[in-house]
Amino acid sequence: MSRTPLLHRSRPQGQPPTGWQDTTADSPASAVLARRDQDIHGAAMAIQAWWRGQLVRRTLEVATRSACLIQTWWHCVITHRREEQRLRALAEYVRQEKASVLLQAYARMWQARVRYQRCREAARTIQTHWRRRGKQQHGGTEDGVDLSIEIVLG
């Protein structure tokens, strides 16, 4: 005789378990009970497998969300670094451009000054020669003042 549990219930102490029946291996009731045990065992395994699947899915969802957060953060970091690098390159370009413009301005100013000094020197030379020529033609004095003093006594 074997005892097969029908249901798992709590029972008072000292009393035989309810739902237990004396069965023999050859009786039709034992086959039904064995089949019922298999069904209960299969259902329990199905519930456990479903629950483990739920836990795995939750774990994978958390891992996926975490990976997405990390990827988003890293993308922001990389974008920020690229923007800083771009701004540094732009600032360096502007600095070099301003320096080259300043050098060009100084070079042009120096060239203009040299041209002005040459023109001024040429004008001075022309004026000097013109004044000498004028004095020579009109019989003037060297300092340009023509004084004729006549003294009359009388």
Structural contact between residues 141 and 135, judged by C-beta atoms closer than 8 angstroms: yes
pLDDT digits (tens, 9 = 90+) for 2-26: 555 544 445 555 555 555 555 455 6
Q: What is the structure's pLDDT at 102?
A: 97
**37/28: higher pLDDT:** 37
Q: How big is the CA angle at 42 (ends 26 and 4), to the nearest 5 degrees?
A: 35
Q: Exposed, middle or buried: residue 49 (CB in 10 Å: 0-12, 13-18, 19+)?
A: exposed
pLDDT at position 30 over 50: yes
Cα–Cα distance list, 77 to 46, 63, 72 (Å)? 46, 21, 9
**What is the three-class DSSP state of 138?**
helix
Q: What is the structure's pLDDT at 17?
A: 54
Query: Average pLDDT, whole number, for the chain?
Result: 83
**What is the three-class DSSP state of 22?**
strand
pLDDT digits (tens, 9 = 90+) for 100-125: 999 999 999 999 999 999 999 999 99
Q: What is the structure's pLDDT at 137?
A: 80
Q: Find the radius of gyration of the CA atoms of the chain.
A: 59
4 phi, psi to nearest 5 deg: -120, 130
pLDDT digits (tens, 9 = 90+) for 51-101: 999 999 999 999 999 999 999 999 999 999 999 999 999 999 999 999 999
pLDDT at position 1 over 50: no
- Report the distance separating Cα 117 and Cα 127, nearest Å: 15
